[in-house]
Amino acid sequence: MGAFFHKFFQTFFQQIPNGVCLVFAIGALVSTVFMLAKRHHRGKLFVILWAAFLFMGLWRCAKGIISIRYASIMIFPMVIATAFGCRRGEAWWRLLCRYFRCLPSWFGRVIALGCLIGCTGGALVIAHYKLNIQSRAFTTICRTVSDYRKLYPDLRVLVKHNDTERFTYHTQVPCIPLEDNQREFFAQGLNGITDPDGHFLLVVMERHLKGLEPRRDELRPGAKLSRVRAKRYRQSKRKNLDIYFYENPLSFSRIAAVSPAPPASPDDLLGPGAFGPSRSAAAFRSRPVPGGGGFRFTFVVSAEAVSGKAAAVEVRTVRRQGNGEVPTLQLRCPVKEKGIYRGVVTFRTPPGPFAICLDGLGTTVRLEQFRLTRAE
Amino acid sequence: MEKTTFIARIGRIREFLLKPQVFLVLVLIASAVMRFIAWDWTPLLERDSVGYVNAAAVWAATGKYTVPQFPPLPCYLIKLLIQLGLAPETAARLYAFVPGCLVPVVAYALAMESTGNRRIARYAAIFFIFHPTLLFFSVMPIRDSLYILLAGLCLWIGLRAVRYQENRLWILYACCCALAWCCRHEGMEFLPLTALILFIELIRKRYTWRKAALHFLLVLLITPTLWFTIGFLTGGMEPFVLQSALVMNHFRDFIE
């Protein structure tokens, strides 16, 4: 019951006045008093109009509205009532003049005109504020994206999931949806990028939240996140526009030939024979390595047979948890043609042993070289 | 003497400008100018508008309506404008712009009908020219612009129908209700609203039971039939089925 009344009053006092514009909501409230005070208005069709809107308003309050657009029809009674109030203000002044003869009668006209100019001016100021602010924020985003695209042609934009279509339309850059603008999704979204190509711009338009950026240890080792724009675009609602640039710690590219293997190093955590005797297959799995902290896995593979457009190479880490195993995708990159490829993937694992799996999807790969080292 | 002539001339100009026809033309011009300014303030489309533009562009190119959860009429109108040769965004903006310009005129008529005072009607029309929410609706291709115009027309024609009690006015009212319903699902609230208005008039003894029942039946028959016909002709059966389910949900919510 409490929730119902909360929703009811929130719609009545917050969403409907916002939707119809505050100036007219107040005007309508004052005018209702005028209307109730004047008996002969009750006989006119104005009453039917008011009854109709009372019904519409109560329905909306009871059901609750998601957006102020649902209350848009309430603009009609509110504005007509405000106009009525302007007119009644003049009439009431004339009534006052009848008792206080010293008052100038022409002032009634001034009151009506003042109300008209005041409401119009108020509406115009709100219109300019509402329409201009959002637009300025978007212009900033589009300009930033276009500047960065000149430097990084493979740029992509990460935005909240419900904004993807809008950002793709305006920036003409592929957009990747983030689940939410909250802090936990922020890190999750960035670490979820398993695509080795591209640089990413992350756009956040949200109320000011302190500590929105993930801590360094929450990101992949080697990843860089820097804020390139910060702007408070809506003072009243404390809405901030933040744009971050994310440098991808993953890479996967075609190379001409396999270079001679580097001499064995004590830094290498895998060592020879870590992936078993088979060196040409669809899937490889390393022996377990003690985890905890950041790692860098460098590998060279030659793709020997590529079938279909979906051919790809995937790198996963697999941890044992209870009786089962938890795989985490670290890198996924398409393989378009036969050849030799070099990939680097940096990742962080919780304490406990883990294995590295390298899978060829739609392709048979030969694992030429590999190395696993600690990364800060 | 000169002063009197000057004042008389000013008075004549004022009288001419305040003639309903002249005033409404001025309102239309002012409304269009204000909406052009608002268009300049918002060069970029907002979230929902992008969805409409994309859906209409895809519909025009492939003949497939991709957002059956929305009533098809707004997208259909944008699609028609695209097929006339306009760019998708321009077509969508134009679709919102024209009804947006007409809303102050409808507001004038509604205020005039409900209060009977020409000055209140004039004030209302001026307010509608500058209303921020309406300016936003008029420059963003969302369904609200057309819906507001049709809802205003519904209310105006509804009030006239109540006053004159003519069958043809009730038929016209039902058609407007159906069109409003084709733009937004909230348009169906005009059905219970009609019942409420007729009930109030019955209490006020301005209507007979027989006439009230006849007029309500007219609205009840014409509105859903026309809603179905327009929905089917524009979007086909798939959106209609989906939207029927949505409407049933609305009714269930209302009853609960």
Q: Quick check: A48 and B200 CB within 8 A?
A: yes
Alpha carbon of A228: minimum distance to chain B alpha carbons (Å): 22
In contact, A102 and B130? CB cutoff 8 Å? no
Q: Which of A53-67, A124-138, A336-350 has the lowest mean pLDDT?
A: A124-138
Q: Would an 8 Å CB–CB cutoff place B144 in contact with chain A?
A: yes
Whole-prediction pTM value?
0.79
Q: Is B66 on the interface with A (CB under 8 A)?
A: no
Give contacts of B 180-209 with A, CB under 8 A: 186, 189, 192-193, 196-197, 200-201
Q: Which of A71, A69, A80 shows the shortest CA–CA distance to A45?
A: A80
Please name the member of A55, A130, A139 whose beta carbon is closest to the beta carbon of B196. Answer: A55
Span B134-177, pLDDT tens digits: 888 898 888 889 999 999 999 999 999 998 999 999 999 999 99
Task: Using an 8 Å CB-CB cutoff, list chain A residues near B134.
Answer: 75
d(CA B67, CA A283): 42
- Give alpha helix (H) positions in B18-117: 20-41, 47-62, 72-83, 88-115
Nearest CA in chain B to A171: B44
Render pLDDT for B88-102 as a digit per residue (tens, 0 to 9).
999 999 999 999 999
> Could you tell me the CA-to-CA distances from A118 to A81, A104, A115, A122 in Å, in that order?
15, 21, 5, 6
**ipTM of the predicted structure?**
0.89
pLDDT score for B158: 92
pLDDT band at B86 (very low <50, low <70, confident <90, very high): very high
Chain segment A154-199, per-residue pLDDT in tens? 788 888 888 888 888 888 888 888 777 666 677 777 777 777 766 7
pLDDT of residue A206: 66
Nearest chain A residue to B200, by CA: A48
Lowest-pLDDT choice from A35-44, B62-71, B212-221: A35-44
- Contact list in B for residue A124 (CB cut-off 8 A) is 130, 132
In this complex, do A83 and B120 lie within 8 Å of one another by their Cβ atoms?
A: yes
Asked if A24 and B123 touch (Cβ cutoff 8 Å), the reply is: no
Q: What is the pLDDT of residue B194?
A: 92
Which sign, positive or negative, has the C-alpha torsion A318, A319, A325, A328?
negative
Interface check for B123 against chain A (CB to CB < 8 A): the answer is yes
Residues of B in contact with A142 (CB under 8 A): 44
Q: Does B136 sit within 8 Å of A127, measured CB to CB?
A: yes
pLDDT of residue B147: 94
CA distances A1 to A7, A8, A110, B35, B252, Å, are 10, 10, 48, 43, 19
Partner residue facing B159 (CB), from A45, A138, A162: A45
Enumerate residues 39 to 58 of chain B having a beta carbon within 8 A of any beta carbon in chain A.
41-47, 50-51, 53-54
pLDDT score at B168? 94
Among the ranges A97-111, A128-142, B188-202, which has the highest mean pLDDT value? B188-202
